[in-house]
Amino acid sequence: MNSFVDDLFERVAVEAAHLARYRKKTEITDEDIQLAIRLLLPPGLAKNVTFEASRAVTSYRKLE
């Protein structure tokens, strides 16, 4: 299971970096990560992942 998560993280990070480079940006944004997820995962799973990630980020920002 750990290797699956590591592999998925690596794929998302690489794809997000490519997207940032394509836009000529030096930083990976949350939009790059969301788009990478939508490109790599099946539509239903990608929608659920981005929804849960948005909830987590919102919750984190409330703590700051």
What is the third-level CATH fold of 2-63? Histone, subunit A (1.10.20)
How confident is residue 8, by pLDDT bands cut at 50, 70 and 90?
very high
- Reading the block at residue 33, the tokens are 């990560």
Are the C-beta atoms of 12 and 38 separated by less than 8 Å? no
In the chain, where does DSSP find H-type helix?
2-22, 30-40, 43-63
**pLDDT on residue 21:** 95
For the chain, domain boundaries:
2-63
| Structure confidence by residue, pLDDT tens digits, 11-61 | 999 999 999 999 999 999 989 999 999 999 999 999 999 999 999 989 999
